[in-house]
A and B are shown apart, each in its own frame.
Chain A
C-alpha cells in the first residue's frame, strides 16, 4: 500500500531564485525504509519539512504531496501530529520540557489523551526504549545520545505510521549513532513503521534500507534499492562515491561484474572471491622525517574539582611541526580535556605543557596565546557579532591590529578558505559546513602555528570533509602543526600523519595511521575490517582498491 506520494513537487524559498526542491516525484510504500542522501543543501531537509505541514517553511510550493491519498495540506492537525513523527538534528532544541517523563507525556497531552491511557503508553514506550532508569531525570543531565533517544521516544509515543528523521545522528558519537540506527531498524522491522531518513552517515544505513534516494539541487539523481544504487552511482561524479559505505566504494573502485556487496562480511567475500590476492602486504609510501617539536604534554594530570576524579592521568604527547595528528577515543576518555589543557584553558595540577620546549604557565601564557588557536566542537561559540566580517574585525581590533592591515589579512584568509561570499552573513544563518569554514578562517586570522581542533568533522558531509582536509593539509605544510581529537576514524585514516588512542586519561597507542589501525581490532576503519585477513596494512578504501588492482582479477577457471 502506498503511504506517501510526491507528484512533481517544486519548492522555492522567498528571496531565492533557485528551487530548493525541483520537480520531485516519488512513491513510498507503507513499511518501507527510505534513506535520502546528498550533499549539504541538496534539498533533503526541505523535502522532509514539506511532508510535515506544521513545519513547512514559507515559500512557493508547486505540486501535491499525498499522505494515504489525501493532500498533506488537508490533513486534520491531530492526524498529522499523531501519524507523522519528526526527529531533527539538534538533540537539545527539540526538547520542550525539563523532565524526561514530561517530554514523553507532552505529545499525548496535546492530543488530550486521558491520564490513565497516558500512563500505559508512557510505561510501554520507556520499556521499549530502555529509558526507565532516567525517567525522572532532568533532560539537561542526559548525554547527547540519550537526549536523541528521548526525542525519538517522544515521537514514537504518538504511535506514528510514518517517521521522518533529519540527520538524527549527526551530533552523536559513533557508538550512540549505531545504537540509534539499530533502534530505527527495530521500529521498522518489528512495528512496521515507515521510515524516511535524511543522513550523511550511510555505513550502517545501507544494509537495513529498502531504498536509497540521492538528491542534488532538489532533484532525484538516483532512486534505487541499495545494491542497485552501488551500480548506478558509478556513472556519476566521483565525489559522490566518497559518501558511500566502504563496501560499495571498494566495489566501485575495482570495476568487477558481480552483485554489489553492502556489509563488511559481503565485501570480504567479494574481495576473496574475485582477486588473486598473491601480494598480501600493503607497503605505505615513505614517511617524511620528523619535524621540530611544536607542543609537548609531559606527564599531565588534571581534574576539574579538588575532590573529583582524575580526567587526565599522566598523559604524554608530542606534536611536531608539519604534521596532522589525530587523537581518537570514546566519550569520557579525556579527549576534549586534553585539548583544553593544550590550549591553556585548563591548567594541569601536575606535569607540564611545553611550547617549542618552553614551559607554559599561568604567567607567561598570554605571550603564547596567539601561537595556539583552538576550535571548539561547536563552531557557533566562536562568533559573538551579527555578521562574520564584523566578528573578524572586532577580534583583530581587540588584538591590536590596525584596520587597513586587518582588512588585508581578512581578504587573504577569506580567499584561502573560500568564504568570500559568506562574510556579510549572520553566523546563525549559515549551514554547519559553512560555519565550520568561517571558524577555521577566524583561527587563521590569529596567524597561529599550532591548531587545536575538537571534532571538526562532526555533522559534515563527506564532500565537505574533503574540503576541510584540503584546508588542513594546506595549513600544516606552512611550518605549522594540527592536533585534532575526533571520533571520525575514516577521516583520521585518510588524512592523518600520526594517530593515537586515548583511554582512561592516557595515550595507550600511537603511530602512523597504517600501523595504528591495522593493529586495532575494533577501533579501525571499515576498509581495514574488510581486508585485514587478506591484505596486511591496508586501511583506506583507496589502499584496498589499489591492492585489488595490483593483484589482478582471479580467472574464472581458478
Chain B
C-alpha cells in the first residue's frame, strides 16, 4: 500500500470511489467474493496485528447477519423449516450471508481508505474548492492535541495543589469541571490570538489560493488511465445488467458470459492494483541493489 499512498491524492480518490461504490452497491456474489478477499488481504498487509484482533468481530458480523435475516424477511421459495410459524428460507439465509460479506468488505475497504487517504490528502483535494473549510479542519487538527495537552498539564498542576487528593467523588467531579471550564477559556483566548495572527498575515481578502503539496507525475497519469479504463468496462457491464443477481424468490445463477467475465476481471485487477504497485517497486529496488 506504501507505493499507492504516494500517488497524487486525486488518483487515489478516483480509485477508492470506484472500488467502494461497487463494494457498497453491487451484491453479485463474484464481486462480493473478490472485494472481501482482496480487501481483507490488503488489511492484513497493512497491519497484521490489528487484522487478527478484528477478525472475531468480523466473523460475528457475518454470523449475526446470516442468522438474523430470516426474521426480517420471509421471502424465498425454498423453505427449510419453521420457527414459531415463521418460515426460514434458504434464500433469506443466503441474502443475510451476502449482506454480512458486504458489511465486512465495506469495513475493510474503508479501513484501507482511512489508512491511505489521511486527512491532509482529503483537505488537499477539497481545499481548492473550499479553502476556508479546509483551513478550519486544519486548525481543528492543530487545536485538538493542544487542548489535550493543556488539560493534562492543568490536571497535573491541580493535583500538585492537592485538588484531587480528596476521596469523595463529588470533589473529584468538581475538580474535573473546573479543569474543563478553564481549558475552554484558555482555548477561546488562544483562538483569538490565532485569529489575530491570521489577520496579520493577510487572511480575509477576497481571493485565496491553495498550496498544492502533491504533483501530478507520469506514474499518476498512467495509474489514473488504468483505473479509468477498468472503470469503463466495470460500469458498462454493471449498467448492462451483467452483474445483476437476485436472491428472491429463488437464487439466480451467476452470469459467466464474455462481458460478465470481463467485469469480474476488471474489478479483480482494480482491487489488486495497490498490491501490484508495491510489488513492482520492490522488484525495481532489488534490481538497483544488485547494481550497487
Task: List the interface of chain A (C-beta within 8 A of B).
Answer: 52, 54-55, 77-78, 80-82, 86, 88, 90, 92-99, 101-102, 105-115, 118-119, 122, 138-140, 154-155, 158, 343-345, 366, 369-370, 374, 376, 378, 380-386, 394-395, 398-399, 428, 442, 446
Q: A107-B201, A110-B202 are in contact. Are A369 and B165 (CB under 8 A)?
A: yes
Total cross-chain contacts (CB, 8 A):
160
Is B157's CB under 8 angstroms from A395's CB? no
Residues of B within 8 A of A398 (CB): 162-163, 166, 171
Return the CB mask of B180-215 against A: 1 if under 8 Å, else 0.
011001100111011011111111110111111100
A440 and B181 CA atoms in complex are apart in Å by: 22
Which of B131, B182, B194 contacts A93 (CB under 8 A)? B194
Q: Tell me if B2 is interfacial: C-beta within 8 Å of chain A.
A: no
Is B202's CB under 8 angstroms from A78's CB? yes
Instruction: Please determine whether B178 and A374 come into contact, CB atoms closer than 8 angstroms.
Output: no
Q: How far is the CA of A110 from the CA of B208 in the complex (A)?
A: 5
Tell me the bound Cα distance from A381 to B163 in angstroms.
13
Contact between A366 and B165 (Cβ–Cβ < 8 Å)? Answer: yes
Interface segment among B71-79, B138-146, B234-242: the answer is B138-146
Residue of B nearest to A102 (CB): B138
**Residue numbers in A under 8 Å from B178 (CB-CB):** 384-385, 394
Identity of the chain A residue whose Cβ is nearest the Cβ of B157 in the assembled complex? A381
Interface size class of B (residues with CB under 8 A): 35 or more
Chain B residues near A344: list those with CB within 8 A: 160
Q: Which residues of A are found within 8 Å of B198, using beta-carbon distances?
A: 96, 106
Contact at A93–B171, with CB atoms within 8 Å? no
Contact check, A114 vs B138: say whether CB atoms are below 8 A apart: no
For residue A370, which residue of chain B has the nearest CB?
B162
Q: Is B135 an interface residue (CB 8 A)?
A: yes
- Cα distance, A419 to B291, chains bound together (Å): 74
Which B residues are within 8 Å of any A CB, using their own CB?
120, 131, 135, 138-139, 141-142, 145-146, 149-150, 153-154, 156-163, 165-166, 171, 178-179, 181-182, 185-186, 189-191, 193-194, 196-205, 207-213
Do the beta carbons of A98 and B138 come within 8 Å of each other? yes
Q: Is the CB of B205 within 8 A of A428?
A: no
Contact in complex: A94, B193 (CB < 8 Å):
yes
Q: List 29 A-B contacts (CB under 8 A).
A: A81-B201, A86-B197, A90-B193, A92-B146, A93-B191, A95-B194, A96-B139, A96-B197, A97-B139, A98-B120, A98-B139, A98-B141, A102-B138, A102-B211, A105-B211, A108-B211, A109-B210, A110-B204, A110-B205, A112-B205, A112-B207, A118-B211, A119-B212, A366-B162, A369-B165, A378-B153, A395-B161, A398-B163, A446-B161
Residues of A close to B142: CB separation below 8 A: 95-98, 139-140
In the assembled complex, which residues on chain A have CB atoms less than 8 Å from the CB atom of B204? Answer: 77, 110
From B178, B185, B197, B207, name the one whose CB has the most chain A CB atoms within 10 angstroms. Answer: B197
B-chain residues with CB within 8 Å of residue A88 when the two chains form the complex: 193, 197
Please pick, from A52, A94, A101, A110, the residue contacting B203 in the complex, using a CB distance under 8 A.
A110
Query: Hey, which chain B residues are within 8 Å of A399, CB to CB?
Result: 162
> Which partner residue on chain A sits nearest B131 by CB separation?
A109
Q: Is there contact, CB below 8 Å, between B157 and A86?
A: no
- Nearest B-chain residue to A443, judged by Cβ: B161
* Contact across chains for B138 and A97 when beta carbons are under 8 A apart: yes
Given A81-B201, A369-B165, the answer on whether A343 and B211 have CB atoms closer than 8 Å is no
Q: B162 contacts A115, CB within 8 Å?
A: no
> Are B193 and A93 in contact, with the CB atoms below 8 A?
yes
Find chain A residues with CB under 8 A from B202 CB: 77-78, 80-82, 107, 110-111, 158
The answer to whether A115 and B210 have CB atoms under 8 Å apart is yes
B211 and A446 form a contact (CB under 8 A): no
Are A109 and B209 touching (Cβ within 8 A)?
A: yes
Partner of A101, one of B145, B197, B201, B213: B213
CA distance A96 to B201 in the complex (A): 10
User: With the chains together, A486 CA to B191 CA distance in Å?
Assistant: 29
Contact present for B165 and A55 (CB under 8 Å): no
Check A381–B205 contact: CB distance below 8 A: no
Nearest CB to that of B197 among chain A residues? A94
Q: Are the C-beta atoms of B211 and A52 separated by less than 8 Å?
A: no
- State which of A90, A119, A138, A382 has its C-beta within 8 Å of the C-beta of B157: A382
Within the assembled complex, what's the spacing in Å between the Cα atoms of A365 and B190? 35
B154/A384 in contact, CB under 8 A: yes
